[in-house]
Amino acid sequence: MKRAIPLAIRLAAGLSVGPALAATNSYNLSGFDKVSASSYVTVVLKQGPFSVQVSEPSGRFNYLELGVRDGPLFAARRPNLNWGWYWEAPQYTVTVTASAYTQINVASHADLSGVVSA
């Protein structure tokens, strides 16, 4: 017979009490000072040497649009035509590090957070 381990004991022992850590990918993108985000992504801005990392709880990176186009770094989630089937959309968190930012655009259900000096 399998016994349930109380939550307090699992926390104290360091056992998993929730979903596994998100999968993270690093992208070799640089040379931008503008950031544009849309379509249900969360962007976290930091200052320092160029770095772009994306995390997603299920490790599904195939619906992510990410790149540098004509100057700005852009991040968005591609739409999915699921024809009425239930689909749990990927939840992308894009952590962007650059030495300076001259423009930040956030639209269409995107979130932004970070601490940068102007």
Residue boundaries of the structural domains of the chain? 18-79+88-111
Predicted local confidence at residue 1, as pLDDT: 45
Question: What string of H, E and C letters represents the secondary structure of the chain?
Answer: CCCCCCHHHHHHHCCCCCCCCCEEEEECCCCCCEEEECCCEEEEEEECCCEEEEEECCCCCCCEEEEECCCCEEEEECCCCCCCCCCCCCCEEEEEEECCCCEEEECCCCEEEECCCC
User: Sorting pLDDT into bands at 50, 70 and 90, what band is 2?
Assistant: very low
Q: For 10-19, how does the pLDDT look when each residue is reduced to its tens digit (9 = 90+)?
A: 444 444 444 4
User: Sorting pLDDT into bands at 50, 70 and 90, what band is 28?
Assistant: very high
Class of CATH domain 18-79+88-111: mainly beta
